A and B are shown apart, each in its own frame.
Chain A
């Protein structure tokens, strides 16, 4: 279980990006963070694995506070948190198979990592994962020759290769067409159920969020304005989440991509 308690983040002087953020995400469920652009969705997601250093609060993953971890502990924790991105962030000249294997790099010694030494089991597992996301025949294709939806599925396979407890998804479908969106979201929902993973997704498409997520976290101007099951989201809640802030919000948008 992921528990975020009183998370706080400021950029520069008193430009609040996150203010007293509390929410939980359960294994086996898809949790979606929704809100207007610039509300702080990305900041929350990146605080969870400490790609962004926050200013205060607690992030408990199975009762271990990620914020208290030192450098090498953080590396170990990160290894059990998969992450997929809007722009897939694969190493494009390498094959799909090699990119999936990168999911194991975090578990290796520096030496084995430098030379990319993977065991036979790991190679077989990577191939099996590619088959699982329906890309078995593209295993030896360079990633820049794959379509966006295919690249995102390679990204998912890479995350799974980490044997994660949790997968963070930063706008995973923002660059995809409707058909690829459906494939990717179906895979994510299935993973949550079958492997009992915590899946935390940033989304700006409300309809997708309501269709696929079990649990919704609504955020506006760095504050949580709603948390609850997706069935409980009605027009009133949506209005609250997407209401216009009184003042312009450049300060917060600065760090959201």
Chain B
């Protein structure tokens, strides 16, 4: 940082100017976005409390909604299962790709670039696009949701796993090589045990995330609890929709708490 200010006033003037410019840019961005989206800030913010009140009035499950409990729980279970299995399958493939693609363990340098590029491609296509692309070929089935989540998760986890493996201390690998271990022994006895708990916490995080995304995918592909929500919601059975929201929240929070516990236990 340069220290050649003539006076404190000059220093503070420059600082204020810089802050002013940043704030002005943010305001302009906000204003332009508001116009582009056609959003009325004040009017909408005023409606928020009313919205919440409406929500509490209509979305509270009543006795009548208990009758929907059966199908809801079933679909919730299906959604959870799709979220878990897509994450696990993606993590297995992701692990293999990460080992092949990480700087420290890659057998071929050329492979690294291909895997990096592929992972970045998979990651950056929104899950919505995946769902819509797959919907055409795989129709309205759990499999569509499974594949959509699978591809996106594969992109994320390959990158996360690669970075985790690359963070590993290179000397530990050299120690194993010095004992005369071959490539597979190095990977399975040296690398994997070291990174296992970090990788598992990434997997747990992705499961949480995918449960939420699975709802969205469900709305688009007509499966799982997302479809059920959409169905009740569009037929004005708000109490049942509210029950779904509540159950999803409970499930996500339980999952979060469990995985926090697991993370602490395996750390």
Contact = CB atoms under 8 A, between A and B. Distances in A.
Contact of B8 (A97, A138, A145): A97
Nearest to A116: B12
B9 interface: yes
A140 B3 contact: yes
Contact of A141 (B3, B9, B12): B3
B3 A97 contact: no
A196 interface: no
A124 interface: yes
Interface in B1-52: 1-3, 5, 7-9, 11-12
Contact of B9 (A95, A123, A140): A123
Chain A facing B: main interface SS:
helix
B8 A127 contact: yes
Contacts of A123: 7-9, 12
Contacts, number: 28
Interface of B: 1-3, 5, 7-9, 11-12
Contacts of B1: 140-142, 145
A251 B9 CA distance: 51
A136 to B, nearest CB: 10
A62 interface: no
A97 B9 contact: no
A120 interface: yes
Contacts of A142: 1
A137 B8 contact: no
A138 B11 CA distance: 13
B95 to A, nearest CB: 40
Interface in A118-146: 118, 120, 123-124, 126-127, 137-142, 145
14 contacts: A97-B11, A118-B12, A120-B9, A123-B7, A123-B9, A124-B8, A126-B8, A127-B7, A127-B8, A138-B3, A139-B5, A139-B8, A141-B1, A141-B3
Interface of A: 95, 97, 118, 120, 123-124, 126-127, 137-142, 145
B153 to A, nearest CB: 37
A23 B12 CA distance: 44
Nearest to A125: B8
A247 B13 CA distance: 60
A25 to B, nearest CB: 34
Contacts of A126: 8
Contact of B3 (A118, A124, A127, A139): A139
A140 to B, nearest CB: 5
Contacts of A140: 1-3, 5, 11
Contacts of A124: 8
B19 to A, nearest CB: 10
A140 B11 CA distance: 8
A120 B11 CA distance: 12
Contacts of B2: 140
Nearest to B5: A140
Contacts of A138: 3
A123 B9 CA distance: 7
B1 to A, nearest CB: 6
Contacts of A141: 1, 3
Contacts of A137: 3
A182 to B, nearest CB: 26
Contacts of B7: 123, 127
Contacts of B5: 139-140
Given A95-B11, A123-B8, A139-B5, 13 more contacts: A97-B11, A123-B9, A123-B12, A124-B8, A126-B8, A138-B3, A139-B3, A139-B11, A140-B3, A140-B5, A140-B11, A141-B1, A145-B1
A120 B12 CA distance: 10
A167 B8 CA distance: 26
A137 B5 CA distance: 10
Nearest to B8: A123
Contacts of A139: 3, 5, 8, 11
